[in-house]
Amino acid sequence: MKAIVYTKYGHPDVFQLKEVEKPTPRDNEVLVKVHAASVNDWDWGLLRGTPFMNRLFFGLLKPKNKILGGDIAGRVEAVGRNVKQFQPGDEVFGDLSGCGFGGFAEYVCARENALVLKPASMTFEEAAAVPQAAVLALQGLRDKGQIQPGQKVLINGAGGGAGTFAVQIAKSFGAVVTGVDSTRKLDIMRSIGADHVIDYTMEDFTESGQRYDWILDFAAHHSIFDYKRALSPKGMYVMVGGSTALMFQVLFLGPLISIATSKKMGILAHKPNKGLVYLKELFEAGKVKPVIDKRYPLSEVPEALRYFGEGHARGKVVITVEHNSKT
């Protein structure tokens, strides 16, 4: 089978399109014929070996996992003898970041619990866009508490892959949503339901005087004290992505701020696929729809990662995997 392989950390040009052995599922695994995958921060970070602490888990000097790609959608080709939920022919999608990645390939083996059935109304490309980004957004808005209808929610980085899901999910909870991102993403944020949009190149939301009940932060370029100032009394700040320096601020100073004030500050610990069935239901109800910016064929994964790494993606970057009659 064809796969995008890398054997050293670096920039997208370290990727190579190669013929590799088609995997065989273990007893609790499902072999999936991949029809689409999508690009996420995990892929960008593991490509470059950053942040450095990730190398302790994924390979200190060179990557342990030679094929990246966490989000996939495809058709079940074969199942291990202990698999109960799926059978050949089922259309599935899921996040493989907890079981070795491998989605940038024609076939991949995944644990049974990493997959769910794809809705018939959802294309493979749409399904591949969902797992990591939408699950992060859902967990960031739900796992630290429950947003109430009418609450003011600010999403920093609302025009990106996870951010576009967060806007729609927050709206489904009845929140009044403010999206923050760059100039070229303002229209996208409006089109998916943001009540207010802020161009961060023109305005600093932490200095506007507005206060928010919930801040979900995918960018995290301000100090913890800036975010504290932008929170309403009893407000919640949830960091999902951003600088390592701010992560340490939130880890060490966040609990102190929470004790000294009624404002809570924390970091989301991503749990792959938790909530994916709920997101599937939101899609089927018409409340959430993936925003896909660009599509690339498997052979152009390097270009897809390069575009993603520039930070300009409006929504998700998707990889399409074509199969000829022999594969």
How confident is residue 327, by pLDDT bands cut at 50, 70 and 90?
low
Rounded Cα distance, 113 and 277, in Å: 12
| Max CA separation in the chain (angstroms) | 65
Rounded Cα distance, 246 and 204, in Å: 17
Question: Would the CA dihedral through 301, 303, 309, 313 be positive or negative?
Answer: negative
Q: What would the two tokens of residue 263 be?
A: 């404002």
How confident is residue 51, by pLDDT bands cut at 50, 70 and 90?
confident
Return the closest-CA partner of residue 312 out of 184, 215, 210.
Answer: 184
Structural domains of the chain, ranges and CATH numbers in brackets: 2-130+290-320 (3.90.180.10), 133-267 (3.40.50.720)
pLDDT of residue 208: 93
Instruction: For residue range 2-14, list pLDDT tens digits in order.
Output: 999 999 999 999 9
Instruction: Report the DSSP beta bridge partners of residue 88.
Output: none
**In this prediction, what percent of the chain has a pLDDT beyond 70?**
99
Q: What is the phi/psi pair of residue 278, to 5°? A: -65, -40
249 has pLDDT over 90: no
Q: Are strands 152-156 and 196-199 parallel, antiparallel or unpaired?
A: unpaired
Rounded Cα distance, 124 and 320, in Å: 9
176 and 197 in contact (C-beta within 8 Å)? no
pLDDT of residue 143: 86
Instruction: For residue range 222-242, list pLDDT tens digits in order.
Output: 899 999 999 999 999 999 977
What string of H, E and C letters represents the secondary structure of 241-294? Answer: CCCHHHHHHHHHHHHHHHHHCCCEEEECCCCCCCCHHHHHHHHHCCCCCCCEEE
Based on its alpha-carbon atoms, the radius of gyration of the chain, rounded to whole angstroms, reads: 20
315 has pLDDT over 90: yes
Instruction: For residue range 121-164, list pLDDT tens digits in order.
Output: 999 999 999 999 999 999 999 988 889 999 999 999 999 999 99
Average pLDDT in the chain: 95
